[in-house]
Structure 1
Amino acid sequence: MPRGGIAFALLVFLLAGCAVPIDGRALWQDPAAVAGLGVTDGPSGPKPGAPPAGLTAEGSDGGEIDALAVAAVADVERYWAAQLPETFGQEYVPVFRLVSYDSGEPGGAVCGTQTEGLVNAFYCGAVPDVVAWDRGELLPDLKDQFGPAAVMTVLAHELGHAVQFRLGVGEQTPTIVKEQQADCYTGAYFRWVAEGNSPAFRITTGEGLNQALSTLFLIRDSAEVTFENEGAHGNAFDRVSAFQFGFTDGPRRCARIDTGEVEARSTQRGSAAGGADEPNVRLDNRQAQADLTASLREAFAGTRSAPALTTGPTLCEATGSPAVFCSASNQIGLNLPELVRIGTPPQRGRPGGLGDFAAFAEVASRYTLSVQQEAGHSLEGPAAAQRTACLTGFWAATLTAGTDTALRLSPGDLDEAVAEMLAPDSLIAADARGEALSAGFARVAAFRDGFAAPEPAVCSSNYP
């Protein structure tokens, strides 16, 4: 996260038009729901007594991972067998071949590509077409990290490419468009499962969707990649956004994703390679604190009494939180050691936090509580947590290229925010007590609403 005057690379476009209703839906978002569905918890993955998949994969070892993968493919194809005719007036033809391979074994090839060392899952649109996956490393690692929903996410994404192929999306279409469409189609499938329509799988809108979104976070583009790069898939913020489009509005919305739409909303624009190496900014630096305060005062210039950042005692009880808003004194107490820990990005083989923007955004979220207090809003409860995430997203959007602010967004900054919001103890989407919205999906959605808003008042109207 560079300060003003330092070379930066990320160019983000504000979308004033995103604050309008989509397909006639109301702007107001129920804080106890995820895109209209109740927040649920419990197991996600295969249902007990699920019907047989009825499919086989070439090269399978007959193990647990391949059984899960084949069941996921069968379920996604079950969804598209009904949805493609209903939405696009076209029959769905199943993928011709399914191939399982072990990337640790030599000698294999799929679609002319050597599979040794190929830790991947992919769709090959040749005639006949193929979906292939690495059962040796990729899928077991994802399942171990995030659960069965991760495998569902990967295979639903690849079958999203099969849907594109059947709808006539050609090779000339930029990779980023095809990838974001596939993420969107993945979200549409997960909505179908979350509504209880799948005979084979179940997904909760709490931890289950968190697993899916965390999978997209893990397989995001690195910070130096821009959406114009050949082979770009999208950063975490853009990939999660595409998934949410599909989950909220269905596959017809996904088909509307094209080059112009991606260009308009991409947060992966510009010569990111130059900004990816910006040094990490620590919040125990006085100038960094001053720059953060200046950026917040500029973003919320209509606030009559801006809160002060302090590292000393406040009138509020110490909680151990990285930052706390003290409403009685209009102060934000900073726990600098904890903020420095959060702001220190992890390094290979060593524990760490999330990155500097995550720490800055946590402080910004507490600042927005002062803004809300002045406006007469309650500072406790799910609606306050939503409003906080939304206003923090609005502040983040003011740090984009072309604005004269004390801080500027760097490549990867918004991905740090996504990681923070998918964590159990998120502060970006928490109320004054530090209680976060229960669903990571809802946290990111509220932040994204603010990021796209032309003015902070949108957050009050969306989350009254």
Structure 2
Amino acid sequence: MDFKDDAKIDSDAIDSSAGGPGRGGGGKIALGGGAGIVVLILALLFGINPGDILGTDDGSQAAPTSTSSSTCRTGADADRDPNCRWAAYATSINQYWGEQLSGYTKARTKPFSNSISTACGSATAEGGPFYCSGDKLVYLDTSFLSQLLNQLGTETSTAAEAYVIAHEYGHHAQDLLGTMAKAHAAGNQTGPHSPSVRLELQADCYAGAYLKWAADNPDDLIENVTSADITKIVNAAKAVGDDHIQKQSSGQVNQDAWTHGSSKMRVYWTQKGFNAASLKSCDTFATNNLGD
């Protein structure tokens, strides 16, 4: 997967402002494709909602980041400076959703280091990338994401990163559509067919649909999405399955504790999105076939 040299990167795609005091309670954090293994192990072993872990407010502040949107103007900059790829992903994904949803308002990506205070409360790098509905930002510790993917047993690549970030922007779309609020209204239910799992699988499907669009769209910033890239994306989806993470943490699988879906389910919905004719195929709330 490459970036077109002359394609423009949105200078407003990255939020480079300093992190402020937590405003806990402003919204729930929707854990996504890169949910941190440390947080998930705690959740799976003790029945804790990962969103509640990330939503606590201890007043921590964002550490400075090395990403500057002012130096990321084109795809050539993303090839030259790896930090620019985050703005490139955000630009491309916002373009996709701008074509899919009438009245779409873009989300921005906010890189941070170690810990940060958000409108959803305080979070640390170990929580992995996440979307906060309270401030419409996708948060990620850029260095920890690579570590996380490796820790979960898949290789780091632009394709895997794009899948993870697209999943988080899928949560933003769910937020705008009201799907997230409906799922959260059901409470902290867990299990393979719970609203939480359906929400995550739909975000996987949205990520797959975006990646197909990026592969086919000659005007997009991203190009040359190859079969090898698809394999890396599928491997990333497998790595973040609840059953895979449970096996790594305890050696056992407990379906009743699932919050994101099994590896098989996540691969199924990512591929379903990639092959979908429309986003209607991503309605995980209207089917009992979740690919399990």
TM-score, length-scaled by structure 2: 0.64
Which of 207, 212, 217 does residue 238 from structure 2 map onto? Answer: 217
SS in 1 for 2:257: coil
Task: List per-residue Cα deviations over 1:9-50 (Å, max 9, x = no partner).
Answer: xxxxxxxxxxxxxxxxxxxxxxxxxxxxxxxxxxx1323333
Residue range with higher mean Cα deviation, 189-198 or 249-258: 249-258
Which one-letter code corresponds to 1:249 in the other structure? A
Task: List per-residue Cα deviations over 1:196-231 (Å, max 9, x = no partner).
Answer: 3452112434101111111111222135242x536x
Structure 2 residue 275 is matched with structure 1 residue 248: yes
Structure 2 residue 157 is matched with structure 1 residue 136: no
Structure 2 residue 88 is matched with structure 1 residue 71: yes
1:124, 1:131 within 8 Å by CA — same for their partners in 2?
Answer: yes
Structure 2 residue 15 is matched with structure 1 residue 57: yes
Which residue in 1 is equivalent to 2:58?
none
Which of 89, 109, 116 does residue 108 from structure 1 map onto? Answer: 116
1:196/1:140 Cα in 2 relative to 1: closer, same or farther (>3 Å)? farther
Please identify which structure carries the higher helix content. Answer: 2
Quote the Cα distance in structure 1 between the aligned partners of 2:14 and 2:265: 34
Which residue in 1 is equivalent to 2:3?
46
Q: Gapped runs of 5+ residues in structure 2? A: 17-63, 69-80, 187-194, 247-252
Structure 2 residue 186 is matched with structure 1 residue 179: no
Which residue in 2 is equivalent to 1:400?
none
Which one-letter code corresponds to 1:155 in the other structure? I
Which one-letter code corresponds to 2:66 in the other structure? D
Aligned-residue Cα RMSD (Å) equals 2.5
Alignment of 1:375-390 (within 5 A): none
How far is the alpha carbon of 1:65 from its aligned partner? Answer: 4.8
How far is the alpha carbon of 1:266 from its aligned partner? Answer: 4.5
Which residue in 1 is equivalent to 2:289?
264
Quote the Cα distance in structure 1 between the aligned partners of 2:239 and 2:219: 26
Quote the Cα distance in structure 1 between the aligned partners of 2:278 and 2:119: 28
Task: List per-residue Cα deviations over 1:233-271 (Å, max 9, x = no partner).
Answer: 11111101101111111442344211x62x43442xxxx
Alignment of 1:310-321 (within 5 A): none
SS in 2 for 1:82: helix
How far is the alpha carbon of 1:141 from its aligned partner? Answer: 5.8
1:161/1:196 Cα in 2 relative to 1: closer, same or farther (>3 Å)? same
Quote the Cα distance in structure 2 between the aligned partners of 1:117 and 1:73: 19
Which one-letter code corresponds to 1:74 in the other structure? T
SS in 1 for 2:261: coil
Which one-letter code corresponds to 2:105 in the other structure? V
How far is the alpha carbon of 1:131 from its aligned partner? Answer: 1.0
Task: List per-residue Cα deviations over 1:101-153 (Å, max 9, x = no partner).
Answer: 123xxx53233443334240011112x32211111211466499231111111
Which one-letter code corresponds to 1:94 in the other structure? K
Quote the Cα distance in structure 2 between the aligned partners of 1:159 and 1:138: 16
Which one-letter code corresponds to 2:128 in the other structure? N
Structure 2 residue 133 is matched with structure 1 residue 122: no
1:68, 1:151 within 8 Å by CA — same for their partners in 2?
Answer: no
1:217/1:175 Cα in 2 relative to 1: closer, same or farther (>3 Å)? same
Alignment of 1:232-247 (within 5 A): 232-247=259-274
Find the structure with the greater CA-based Rg: 1
Which residue in 1 is equivalent to 2:223?
202
Which of 229, 236, 255 does residue 257 from structure 2 map onto? Answer: 229
Alignment of 1:84-95 (within 5 A): 84=101, 90-95=102-107
1:62/1:205 Cα in 2 relative to 1: closer, same or farther (>3 Å)? closer
1:254/1:130 Cα in 2 relative to 1: closer, same or farther (>3 Å)? farther
1:185, 1:254 within 8 Å by CA — same for their partners in 2?
Answer: no
Which of 212, 223, 229 does residue 191 from structure 1 map onto? Answer: 212
1:45, 1:202 within 8 Å by CA — same for their partners in 2?
Answer: yes
1:133/1:117 Cα in 2 relative to 1: closer, same or farther (>3 Å)? closer
Q: Gapped runs of 5+ residues in structure 1? A: 1-43, 85-89, 268-464
2:120, 2:132 within 8 Å by CA — same for their partners in 1?
Answer: no
Which one-letter code corresponds to 1:125 in the other structure? S
2:126, 2:144 within 8 Å by CA — same for their partners in 1?
Answer: no
Quote the Cα distance in structure 2 between the aligned partners of 1:111 and 1:155: 19
1:179/1:265 Cα in 2 relative to 1: closer, same or farther (>3 Å)? closer
Which residue in 1 is equivalent to 2:27?
none
1:184, 1:251 within 8 Å by CA — same for their partners in 2?
Answer: no
Task: List per-residue Cα deviations over 1:275-294 (Å, max 9, x = no partner).
Answer: xxxxxxxxxxxxxxxxxxxx
Quote the Cα distance in structure 1 between the aligned partners of 2:121 and 2:254: 24
Task: List per-residue Cα deviations over 1:77-120 (Å, max 9, x = no partner).
Answer: 10111122xxxxx321112x5321123xxx53233443334240
Which one-letter code corresponds to 2:2 in the other structure? G
SS in 2 for 1:108: strand
Structure 2 residue 166 is matched with structure 1 residue 156: yes
1:158/1:248 Cα in 2 relative to 1: closer, same or farther (>3 Å)? same
1:65/1:154 Cα in 2 relative to 1: closer, same or farther (>3 Å)? farther
Quote the Cα distance in structure 2 between the aligned partners of 1:249 and 1:117: 33
Quote the Cα distance in structure 2 between the aligned partners of 1:65 and 1:217: 25
Quote the Cα distance in structure 2 between the aligned partners of 1:92 and 1:142: 30
**Percent identity at matched positions?**
23
Which one-letter code corresponds to 2:103 in the other structure? E
Task: List per-residue Cα deviations over 1:354-375 (Å, max 9, x = no partner).
Answer: xxxxxxxxxxxxxxxxxxxxxx
Which residue in 2 is equivalent to 1:445?
none
